[in-house]
């Protein structure tokens, strides 16, 4: 393996690529703006800035939905533009290792492989790795040991809860639930209780600034929306208490799912998890005091990290660079990397 290796995490909300040679993670919103039927008008952060603001002839699309590739062609086009820009053209002939959710079909998994293997990047090698395992390695955990590791990846469209041991997945559940649903809950709660229609971005902003796993936050934030009664745009102050009321049910759903996985975990692995704790990662894990909530519900300590959105991408490069972990990556051509 050389240095021209890229770990790629095709997240629903953010595209993350870790370059081994540069030791850096490149990240942009996984969004494209399409003009007309098929012309790429903008991508990444620029396209996301246009979200909820575009004229009729421009549409905003998210190529990844529910953890899988929803628009193959636009995802491939964005990847090419993104990689060419950030690597200064040094991406051709490179090696790629790509994170894939554990609970997807063979056809969906194949799309993650083909989007690189059949691209104009002329990849030297394309490998796949289950995302929970990449997360664990990116968190600095030795997944090869006969030790139970529980990882909760709280993403935008999905939440993946997994138990890992001896380099494999003992249990994994991909929930059709993530940060986007929490945004929608905030949006719908404000609409129902205050007759105010706000945008998805505004709801996400409230989540990021005011949401808490355990409540008690006394802060507030001002949003602008359309009053349903007058039809006019108005400003309104939204309190943290309002946001927490809106998302309470969603957070309880995640807690219940974690408890269900713990109930299915073999006793010897459960003992390890109780000792070492649960590891949470993904963009959604940055909700304030979410770790405290999970600990209160499960009675198990919860471990966080500084850059939860980058763990999978960083772990992927480590997997193919370290002989100890190489067997965790596989190709759709040869299945196992020898």
**Alpha helical stretches, state H, 118-239:** 131-138, 179-194, 200-210
Contact 32, 74 (CB under 8 A): yes
Run of H or E including 174: strand 168-175
pLDDT of residue 89: 65
pLDDT of residue 3: 67
pLDDT in tens, the chain (338 residues): 456 899 999 999 999 999 998 899 999 999 999 998 889 999 999 999 999 999 999 999 999 999 999 999 999 999 999 998 888 767 888 899 999 999 899 999 999 999 999 888 888 899 999 999 999 999 999 999 999 999 999 999 999 999 999 999 999 999 988 999 999 999 999 999 999 999 999 999 999 999 999 988 899 999 999 999 999 999 999 999 999 999 999 999 999 999 999 999 999 999 999 999 999 999 999 999 999 999 999 999 999 999 999 999 999 999 999 999 999 999 986 444 43
pLDDT of residue 335: 45
CATH topology of domain 5-135+311-328: Nucleotidyltransferase; domain 5 (3.30.420)
pLDDT of residue 338: 39
Domain boundaries, the chain: 5-135+311-328, 143-177+247-305, 180-246
Q: Which CATH number fits domain 143-177+247-305: 3.40.50.2000, 3.30.420.40, 3.20.20.70, 3.40.50.300?
A: 3.30.420.40
Distance (Å, whole) CA 315 – CA 22: 15
| Domain 180-246 coded CATH 3.40.50.970 | no
Same fold, 5-135+311-328 and 180-246: no
**Alpha helical stretches, state H, the chain:** 44-50, 72-87, 106-117, 131-138, 179-194, 200-210, 240-264, 267-276, 290-298, 311-321
Nearest to 161 by CA among 279, 311, 325: 279
pLDDT of residue 2: 56
Give the predicted TM-score (pTM) of the model: 0.92
């Amino acid at each position: 393996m050389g240095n021209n290796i890229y770990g790629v995490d095709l997240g629903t909300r953010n595209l993350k690529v870790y370059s081994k040679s540069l030791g850096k993670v490149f990240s942009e919103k996984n969004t494209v703006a399409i003009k007309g039927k098929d012309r790429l008008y903008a991508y990444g952060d620029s396209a996301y800035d246009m979200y909820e603001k575009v004229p009729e002839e421009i549409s905003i699309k998210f190529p990844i939905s529910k953890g899988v590739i929803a628009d193959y062609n636009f995802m491939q086009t964005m990847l090419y533009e993104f990689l060419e820009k950030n690597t200064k053209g040094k991406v051709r002939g490179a090696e790629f290792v790509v994170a894939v959710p554990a609970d997807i079909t063979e056809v969906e998994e194949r799309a993650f492989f083909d989007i690189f293997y059949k691209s104009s990047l002329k990849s030297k090698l394309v490998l796949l790795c289950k995302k929970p395992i990449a997360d664990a390695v990116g968190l600095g955990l030795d997944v090869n040991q006969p030790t139970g590791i529980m990882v909760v990846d709280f993403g935008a469209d999905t939440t993946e809860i997994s138990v890992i041991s001896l380099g494999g997945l003992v249990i994994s559940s991909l929930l059709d639930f993530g940060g986007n649903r929490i945004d929608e809950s905030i949006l719908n709660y404000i609409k129902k209780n205050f007759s105010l229609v706000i945008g998805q971005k505004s709801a996400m902003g409230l989540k990021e600034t005011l949401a808490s796993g355990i409540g008690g936050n006394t802060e507030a934030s001002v949003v602008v929306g359309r009053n349903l009664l007058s039809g006019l745009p108005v400003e309104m102050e939204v309190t943290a208490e309002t946001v927490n009321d809106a998302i309470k049910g969603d957070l309880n759903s995640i807690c219940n799912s974690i408890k269900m996985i713990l109930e299915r975990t073999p006793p010897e692995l459960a003992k390890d998890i109780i000792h070492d704790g649960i590891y949470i990662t993904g963009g959604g894990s940055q909700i304030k005091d979410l770790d405290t909530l999970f600990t209160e519900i499960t009675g198990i300590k919860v471990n966080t990290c500084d850059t939860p959105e980058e763990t999978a991408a960083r772990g992927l490069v480590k997997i193919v660079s370290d002989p100890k972990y190489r067997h965790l990556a596989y190709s759709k051509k040869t299945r196992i990397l020898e």
